């Protein structure tokens, strides 16, 4: 049903959308400058050396002074840094990194860490022409084509939650029987499907010293990084990372718990993967899928999480899923009804939504 509006109302609405688009452009540019600052170590240099002039920052970070000055001024105008005297000559101004900014853009283990969003944006540039082609042809863009920027951003974005919440809150409170089994003897065997950089796998190994954990991912560069992260965390002796499919695993007598953390919606054939997962577990073994906390049905207009997920889907997740055919074409916005349908087709009897509260993630337990 169309609604007639006056010229004044139309002008006001157009003005509001112009402002929204302009402010969105500013936000996108600033996120990329944050990513640039992290890549160059500028925030770390400010944190280590205290208030810095552009020359001092340039020397500490190993960059050109003129670029240091421009970045410092831009970050200050964006209210991310503070300057002691804006009226001082440019080369004498001293800039400070406030604690609030450090928490959000520097501290990689903080639950407030959102700097990786800039990396997501940067990763889209090199594949944009491929996206255009995919949209016209019905094909896709392979995950590997997004490169290291996307891998780094995805790993960094989820790392704090895995490190701080996975065992102590999500499993301990949302699946206490699984939590208890992973703590117990004999050692539980755990499979982490679509592990990426391995932060979830490492978190499981650290939280459950008795468990033996296998991380599985199709992307070999991600597996290389995951192995490095396990070494650094001191859990490499209890963690194995394998490139490939679940069907390729040496199962032995199966797994006590299988997890899929924010990966199922990216898969071209999720039902096949769930069927393979069902075959890998021991009798009574748990299968838990963490995916996006989107609305039950389309229509959550303007909701920030829904907007974020659809943006990610249009530019990344759907094209990745479509890069292999035949494809379910799921996309980021995998609603609960879709998850249940996939599980049923894979042979599971039913699906429970676990009582775990999180702004971005919903947790499903697949039974039977």
**Closest CA relative to residue 118, chosen from 36, 31, 27:** 31
The pLDDT of residue 251 is: 61
Decide if 7-106 and 123-367 have a common fold: no
Instruction: Give the pLDDT confidence of 188-205 residue by residue, as tens digits.
Output: 999 999 999 999 999 999
Q: Does the structure show a pLDDT above 90 at 165?
A: yes
Q: Does the structure show a pLDDT above 60 at 187?
A: yes
Angle, alpha carbons 144-150-156 (nearest 5°) = 130
CB 349 within 8 A of CB 288: no
Six-digit token string for 187: 């050692």
As a whole number, mean pLDDT of residues 99-104 equals 97
CA atoms lying within 13 Å on the CB side of residue 300: 15
Q: Does the structure show a pLDDT above 60 at 1?
A: no
Q: Name the phi and psi angles at 309, rounded to 5.
A: -65, -40
The pLDDT of residue 293 is: 97
**Closest CA relative to residue 246, chosen from 214, 268, 209, 223:** 214
CATH code reported for the domain at 7-106? 1.10.10.10
Question: What pTM, to 2 d.p., does this model score?
Answer: 0.93
C-alpha–C-alpha distance, residues 162 and 168, integer Å: 10
C-alpha–C-alpha distance, residues 254 and 256, integer Å: 7
Identify the architecture of domain 123-367 in CATH: 3-Layer(aba) Sandwich (3.40)
Six-digit token string for 125: 């540039």
C-alpha–C-alpha distance, residues 269 and 62, integer Å: 46
Confidence of residue 103 (pLDDT cuts 50, 70, 90): very high
Six-digit token string for 367: 């039974």
DSSP H stretches of helix in 106-175? 116-124, 128-137, 147-165, 172-174
CB 208 within 8 A of CB 238: no
CB 314 within 8 A of CB 304: no
C-alpha–C-alpha distance, residues 57 and 51, integer Å: 9
Six-digit token string for 142: 């392979």
Domain boundaries, the chain: 7-106, 123-367
Instruction: Give the pLDDT confidence of 193-249 residue by residue, as tens digits.
Output: 999 999 999 999 999 999 999 999 999 999 999 999 999 999 999 999 999 876 666
Six-digit token string for 124: 């889209």
Average pLDDT, the chain: 95
């Amino acid at each position: 049903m169309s609604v007639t509006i006056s010229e004044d109302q139309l002008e006001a609405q157009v003005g509001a959308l112009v402002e929204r688009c302009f402010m969105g452009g500013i936000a996108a540019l600033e996120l990329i400058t944050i990513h640039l600052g992290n890549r160059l170590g500028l925030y770390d240099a400010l944190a280590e050396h205290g208030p810095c002039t552009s020359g001092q920052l340039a020397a500490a970070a190993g960059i050109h002074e003129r670029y240091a000055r421009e970045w410092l001024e831009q970050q200050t105008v964006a209210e991310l840094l503070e300057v002691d005297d804006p009226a001082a000559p440019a080369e004498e101004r001293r800039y400070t990194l406030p604690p609030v900014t450090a928490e959000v853009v520097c501290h990689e283990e903080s639950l407030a860490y959102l700097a990786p969003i800039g990396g997501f944006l940067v990763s889209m540039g090199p594949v944009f022409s491929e996206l255009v082609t995919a949209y016209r042809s019905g094909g896709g863009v392979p995950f590997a084509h997004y490169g290291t920027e996307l891998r780094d951003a995805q790993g960094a974005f989820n790392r704090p939650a895995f490190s701080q919440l996975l065992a102590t809150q999500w499993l301990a409170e949302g699946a206490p029987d699984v939590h208890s089994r992973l703590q117990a003897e004999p050692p539980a065997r755990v499979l982490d499907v679509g592990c990426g950089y391995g932060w979830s796998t490492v978190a499981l190994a650290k939280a459950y010293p008795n468990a033996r954990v296998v991380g599985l991912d199709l992307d070999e560069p991600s597996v290389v990084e995951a192995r490095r992260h396990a070494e650094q965390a001191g859990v490499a002796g209890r963690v194995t990372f394998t490139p490939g499919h679940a069907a390729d695993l040496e199962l032995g007598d199966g797994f006590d718990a299988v997890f899929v953390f924010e990966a199922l919606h990216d898969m071209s054939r999720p039902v096949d993967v769930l069927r393979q997962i069902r075959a890998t577990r021991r009798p009574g073994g748990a299968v838990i899928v963490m995916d996006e906390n989107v609305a039950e049905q389309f229509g959550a207009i303007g909701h920030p999480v829904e907007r974020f997920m659809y943006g990610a889907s249009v530019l990344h997740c759907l094209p990745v899923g479509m890069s292999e055919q035949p494809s379910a074409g799921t996309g980021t916005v995998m609603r609960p009804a879709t998850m249940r349908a996939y599980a049923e087709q894979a042979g599971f009897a039913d699906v429970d939504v676990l009582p775990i509260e999180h702004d971005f993630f919903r947790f499903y337990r697949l039974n039977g």
